[in-house]
Amino acid sequence: MKLNNILILLLSLALFGCQHKEKVDLLVYNANIYTVDSNFAKVEAMAIKDGNIVELGTTQEIIKKYKTLKSIDANGLFVYPGLIDAHCHFLSYAKSMKSVNLFGTKSFSEVVNRIVEFQKKEDLQFITGRGWDQNDWELKEFPNKFELDELFPDVPVLITRVDGHAILINQAAIDFVGLKDTAILGGLIEKDENGKLTGILIDNAVDLVEFPKMKRNVLVDVIDQAQKNCFAYGLTTLDDAGLDRESIDLIDSLQEANFLKMRLYAMVSDKPEFQEYYLKNGKIKTEMLNVRSFKFYADGALGSRGACLSHPYSDKPDSQGFLLSSQEHFNSSAEKMANSGWQMNTHAIGDSANRTMLGIYGKYGKGKRWRIEHAQVLTESDFELFKRFEVMPSVQPTHATSDMYWAGERLGEQRVKDAYAYKRLLDQFGKIALGTDFPIEDISTIKTFYAATIRKDWDGFPDGGFQFKDALSREEALKGMTIWAAYSNFEEKEKGSLEPGKLADFVIMDKDWLNCTDDEILDTKIINTYIGGKLVYQKTK
């Protein structure tokens, strides 16, 4: 055969091969891809089309079979399914960007100084802030309003404790809302020894104070910044734990306009009017928004001693917390949820609150994939109820490493051993969903993974980890942030792992979380975040 004929034949074969390559939108290759599928398989490449994964395999296989105008040579970096925060407060986090940041304050004086400096710059008619925690102060007692009264006699001030279960307001705020000294079911308006209001309101009493709502244009701006911050940590789905109808409608409209690109699993707040509306009108399910659950509060927080315990607090023998609603309310609501097919997700911190809700779940919700949020303190004999009643635990690992400095004082040496027991909860149900509860905790997925597996703070304390027997393995923690979190949302068939037919939500990192050293986890850099095969975050050099 003549040379020119051979060249023509080779060219024809090459063109024929190209014509029979399937066209896709994106190829990722030369990567270490943790699929988190049922075999926890690891592959090198994947092809993506129309926002979904088409195929995974070796780099050679995928490049040979598919063609595209866009491709990512990962150069050996590590690819994981898009990370899911199974319990957070996204809209609250967004709104907090327009308030005083009180996280990390070491005294009430520092709190006051931050408020003063904030108001000098902003000159607002209403001052709000969040993040103070008296447990971090030398004097571990609730503050009072009297200094704020002197500094801001005419400007209402409302500052929220780190967990959201207590607030401090000044007299101007009391006057603005017309607050009266009254008894509150599941809440407390605190008074000093002279019977004067201190400005501290706990749990249900917090709902008595409401400032004017943020203007829509401002809210939209902070929501945009909030989602960008989340993308920078590899988050692609958020479970917002407790939203009203107005907020859900806003999210829906922003996503319809392609402005809000974050996927959201919205839990509807437990209010009679919301139950009436959503149980009548049904669930909402789009590719971006899933509304099929209600968020209930059994009790308050351990830090503010609102958690409902079966025995008194070790550091306050005259108190054991309280339920935030009557058992009749929880029972009737559970029956409604069961009959209508809605998921019931309940905040339960104290062992008494957990036992109460587990019993109700066992009566109405067995096998319905209902969730206990936090499951923070349990009586040893109650762990098996998660298995018996098929209740899914949804926990936040950084709560353990934030609370470990003082939790023993609240609970006592013996009782604290059955708190933050994530491994034992996993062993009972077989799955566990992980989140952060941000803005109560840091939004960092890196810190979530570290706290779940290493059980230390970011300075390496304590040696050996806090109650390390209840640490999760690295594979378990990754599943808790991906496929198990998706399962908790009834979304495991569409996300949570990288498999053909599933959404192309994924994150590229510079660290191998399954094999790197403990310290390297905290040094992780998020390189890219993709939602539906589209880039939503890229690390700047």
pLDDT, tens digit, 9 for 90 and up, residues 167-223: 999 999 999 999 988 888 888 999 988 888 999 999 899 989 888 888 999 999 999
Write the DSSP string, 355-420.
HHHHHHHHHHTTTTT-EEEE--B--GGGTHHHHHTT-EEEE-HHHHHHHTTTHHHHH-TTGGGGBS
Mean pLDDT within 129-155 = 92
**pTM attached to this predicted model:** 0.89
CB 308 within 8 A of CB 283: no
Cross-strand bridge partners of residue 316: 313
| pLDDT(2) > 80 | no
pLDDT of the residue at 63: 96
Mean pLDDT within 353-370 = 97
| pLDDT(11) > 80 | no
pLDDT of the residue at 53: 98
Query: From CA 334, how far away is CA 417, in angstroms rounded?
Result: 30
Query: From CA 497, how far away is CA 484, in angstroms rounded?
Result: 10
Query: From CA 255, how far away is CA 234, in angstroms rounded?
Result: 19
Mean pLDDT within 240-256 = 96
CB burial class (10 A; 0-12, 13-18, 19+) of residue 62?
buried
At 19, the pLDDT band (50, 70, 90 cuts) reads: low
CA–chain centroid gap for 461, Å, is 24
Question: What are 359's two structure tokens?
Answer: 């019993």
CB 417 within 8 A of CB 400: no
Buried-exposed string 198-219: b where 16+ CB fall within 10 A, e elsewhere? bbbbbbbbbebbebeebeeeeb
Mean pLDDT within 123-138 = 91
Domains of the chain (ranges plus CATH)? 16-76 (2.30.40.10), 84-89+214-537 (3.20.20.140), 99-208 (3.10.310.70)
Buried-exposed string 346-381: b where 16+ CB fall within 10 A, e elsewhere? bbbbbbbbbbbbbebbeebbeebbbbbbbbbbbbee
Query: From CA 243, how far away is CA 229, in angstroms rounded?
Result: 20
Mean pLDDT within 224-238 = 98
Mean pLDDT within 53-66 = 97
pLDDT of the residue at 20: 81
Contacts of 182 (CB under 8 A, 6+ apart): 189
